Chains A and B, each alone.
Chain A
Amino acid sequence: MKTNIATIALEAALSCGMDGARITQSEGLQRAWSLLSGKPDRLQYAAGASLSIQLYQDGRYGSFSTNRLEREDVEAFVRRAAESVRLLTPDPAYKMPDPALLYRGDCPDLGQSDPNFDAIPEVAKKQLLYTAAQELLSRPKSTLIASEVEFGESQESCYILDSCGFEGRSAQTYYTLSAECSIRGKDDEKPQGWWYEAAQFFDQLRPEGCGNQAWERAVRMLDPRPLPGGNYSVILENTVSSRLLSPVLAALSGASIYQQNSFLMDSLDKQLFSQHLTLLDEPLTYGAMGSRYFDSEGLATKPRQIIDQGVVRTWFLNTYTATKLGMQPTIEGISVPVLQPFGPETAAEMMQELDRGVLITSFNGGNSNGATGDFSFGIEGIYFENGQPQYPIREMNISGNLLSLWSRICAVGKDSRQAARWRIPSLAFEGVSLQ
């Protein structure tokens, strides 16, 4: 990455009278190939570069971006940006981060970028695509309506330079292989199944089984039956379990807390969750998706306890929100969430343990109220009894309150998917309202 344009932007900002500035230069390349029912369908290629510019002047703040990266364009853009910042009303919480909290290091390899990205032959990538497609095309034509498979790859790099002397670089590569199929169901219904694999290194991407998994996930949704509403034990499959964790993390963000728009207000050092629940952030884990040395402000990451045996230990605070709350900044958000396992280790073992309930395999819409923790999500899944799958269910909602839900967690598995952005394993809860 040629980084002199970031320097030009920083110098332009300071020469315009800004007392602080941060320049983030990003470059990215994405390619994707897809097949529809075994035949080429789409080819996509994208390459781009942009500058993101944060300007500070005496409590005034602006955030700007442009992909016009010629020197004269950037300088003119920064001049106009600075003019608009000067028109604002000061808010002392807008300020550059404490230099003592910024990452100072040379970014040793965190296993985020495949050095062979440019050397992998196209034929090898297409081989993965056709392997996944063939698994679906070998299925009975009387049942299979359509199949779609896609291989995608991306390479992204980022360079941050600020007026405090912080300078940081990061780079990631990412490969995905996804498969989806539609099959004939009852009447006009066409249940769909999907699966994906993902990896940061090409040689870690496993194509075998991707199409088969998509097929099996469609077939297992055939002939759904109604399930009476009531309180059930539920298991969140490892493909979807992060869905109910993400609103908890959002409630721990400084932006929610300082606006008093969080159901985890006043939560620090309080036992609000089950004593079995321990959530860590492990941002320096080699090869884990999301590992990083610094956040977007340059604040250094480190391993942290977020929730320790049910006690909240960390709020996610950047410089702005920490100042608003009169606290020290921590980090803007979680990097690599790790839930400590307890109880049965897989969804299948959880079914045995719980005897009767619903394995949730997919969410369909829904949302949660950040201020109260009330939630309601559409679900699909498998009803199980005597520890065995019985029949698929759908057109149901899971509802309740997130604090109440997480206090009733009864298992955290050890079966997180390596392909997931957040490696959250299967989770089990007792006494959950399904309607």
Chain B
Amino acid sequence: MKENKVMIEGASARRASSFSLSEAYSFFGVDPDELKQLTAIALEKGGDYADFYFEYSTSDDLMLRDGEVSSVGSHIDYGVGVRVLSGEMTGYAYAEKTDRESIASAARMAASIADQPGNHYIAQEVVLLEAASNRYPILQDWEAYPVLMQKEFLKALDETVRSRDERIIKVIARLSHSYAKIFFFNSEGVQHTDVRPMASLSLSCIMKSGTRVENFSASRSFRCGSEFLTDALCLELSDEVVRGCSRMMEAEQPAGGAMPVVMGAGGSGILLHEAMGHAFEADFNRKGTSIFADKMGQRICPSGITIVDDGTLLANRGSVNFDDEGVPGQRTVMVEDGILTSYLHDRISARSYGVAPTGNGRRESFRYMPLPRMRATYMESGTASEEDLIRDIKKGIYVDHFSNGQVQIGVGDFTFYVKTGYLIENGRLTRPIKDTNIIGNGPRALADMVAVADNLKIDNGTWTCGKEQYCAVSCGMPSVLIRQLNVGGIS
């Protein structure tokens, strides 16, 4: 095996939306026989499973500030991660070169998690996994939308935002697009390739009136090509930040305390991600540290509520043709009609539970071992209208823009930070509110979901989960009334 010579790609280089097996062998400088030999090295200390995750990724970005596009970035990352499992133990190492000796060295490091030296590996017939369908086709390459056109798009975005409100004093926009070629091989003989695009646009504006200054941000992110950049996107995002910032200018931090909360459709899916999703990730349950560790098959929320983690949505930021350990992407129903039906599994937890992995073994890059991670997490629509949810509330809040969240997995306490929302007074949305943290308890919040509207919306912002490593995800929700959560605010 020779040191391969990868031609460096940049923003202007051609990027195919397919990556055949023969291209992968050539690109990473490997072949099946050598991979079997490397697998034997990885398992020479007694490990019972090994996989190799080859990745080449490029990302490019443009930044607009002060009305001009004056900075650019481009980044390349290349390498292979080697994982060895011995029972539920994991050895992990990576190499930034894919010549035989570099991979073998990483394989020996990962192998040492096991302690029963000997030749345990019987090479398996190599099987190529084909994706059921490509969940992220590139309809238009970035070559067709070069940097000068991207600059014009950002300039138009800037002008559109500034034209909406004379109080706007600053606009910041960042366009980024990335592209990863993946090749996966494991000791069971499974191999596959994947091409993963991502396009993201973040927009912030700052408004000033008198001495008051506020900011607001919005973003969109999809696994797609340059078809991402449309006039509709420009208008939609501009409208969202200007309306959001205008609302912030009128808003105040609310008086805090326990009260009913209506979660608006869309980004409220952060509640599912923090309050339930993490607690359903099977590594926490395998260790017995999740508050939901003993709840499989039990009712955990009212009937009629179905919560899904889905890797199959077209062009969604969290979608995967395959997860990062060679398992086909799929749709996993975690809660069906109020009953906990499935955790989110990687290979380790699936083995521990004696079930099939659910395609949730994901990682930030070849530098990280895969873990059970969410994809697109959402609740199915109910039957009420959003007005039904608000009508009977005397005092509460309605929330629809968020920035971040967190959970304490063992006791189930979750939080999410509300950028803006409204007070609900006597069944009506009244004054805007801002900058409040909401805290609740997962099992109680699930039980307290007293009404679900018929307006499921997937939020396509740049959601990124930070469990040990970063991972692109998305979330969604119909409007939901929760009987009581604790709202941070002034006394």
Q: Which residues of A approach B to under 8 Å, CB–CB?
A: 36, 39-49, 59-68, 70, 72-73, 76-77, 80-81, 83-85, 87-91, 94, 145-146, 148, 182, 185, 188-192, 221, 229-231, 259-261, 265, 364-372, 374-378, 380, 394-400, 433-435
Find out whether the CB atom of B68 lies under 8 angstroms from the CB atom of A43. no
- Which residues on B sit within 8 Å (CB–CB) of A189? 291, 410-412
Task: Assess the A192–B169 pair: CB atoms within 8 A.
Answer: no
Q: Is B134 an interface residue (CB 8 A)?
A: no
B76 CB–A CB distance under 8 Å: yes
> Inside 8 A of B490's CB, which chain A residues have their CB?
399-400, 433
With A87-B151, A182-B289 as contacts: A365 and B405 at CB distance below 8 Å: yes
Q: In chain B, what residue has the closest Cβ to A218? A: B410
List residues of chain A with CB within 8 A of the CB of B487. Answer: 397, 435
A42 touches B76 (CB 8 A): no
Interface residues of B in 269-308 (CB under 8 A from A): 274, 287-291, 293-295
Say yes or no for B46: interface residue by CB 8 A criterion.
no
A62–B409 contact, CB under 8 A? Answer: no
Q: Is the CB of A40 within 8 A of B440?
A: no
Given known pairs A80-B10, A182-B288, A261-B206, the reply for A89 and B151 (CB within 8 Å) is yes
How far is A310 from B413 in the complex, measured between Cα atoms in Å?
A: 36
How many contacts A-B (CB < 8 Å)? Answer: 275
Known: A261-B213, A366-B437, A378-B437. A88 touches B71 (CB 8 A): yes
Of the listed stretches B105-113, B187-195, B314-322, B337-345, chain A binds: B105-113
B415 lies within 8 A of A36 (CB): no
| CB atoms of A372 and B435 under 8 A apart | yes
Q: Which residues of A contact B440 (CB under 8 A)?
A: 395
B206 touches A259 (CB 8 A): yes
| In the bound complex, CA of A435 to CA of B490 (Å) | 8
> Shortest CB–CB separation between residue A155 and chain B, in angstroms?
16
**Interface of chain B residues 69 through 83 with chain A (CB within 8 A):** 69-79
Contact B92 A435 (CB under 8 A): no
Q: Say whether B172 faces chain A, with CB atoms less than 8 Å apart.
A: yes
Bound CA–CA A220/B49 (angstroms): 41
B8 close to A (CB within 8 Å): yes
User: Is A85 in contact with B72, judged by CB distance below 8 angstroms?
Assistant: yes
Q: Is the CB of A372 within 8 A of B367?
A: no
Contact A43 to B90, CB < 8 A, known contacts A36-B287, A85-B72, A367-B417: yes
- Is the pair B74, A399 in contact by a Cβ cutoff of 8 Å? no
CB atoms of B435 and A364 under 8 A apart = no
- Give the Cβ gap from A93 to chain B, nearest Cβ, in Å: 8
Please state if B435 and A89 are interface contacts (CB–CB under 8 Å). Answer: no
- Between-chain CB contacts (< 8 Å), 14 pairs: A64-B75, A81-B74, A89-B68, A146-B288, A191-B410, A229-B256, A231-B491, A261-B213, A365-B405, A366-B437, A376-B417, A378-B488, A395-B413, A435-B489
Q: Which residue of chain B has the shortest Cβ distance to A431 in the bound complex?
A: B491
B147 touches A84 (CB 8 A): yes
Residue of B at shortest CB range from A148? B287
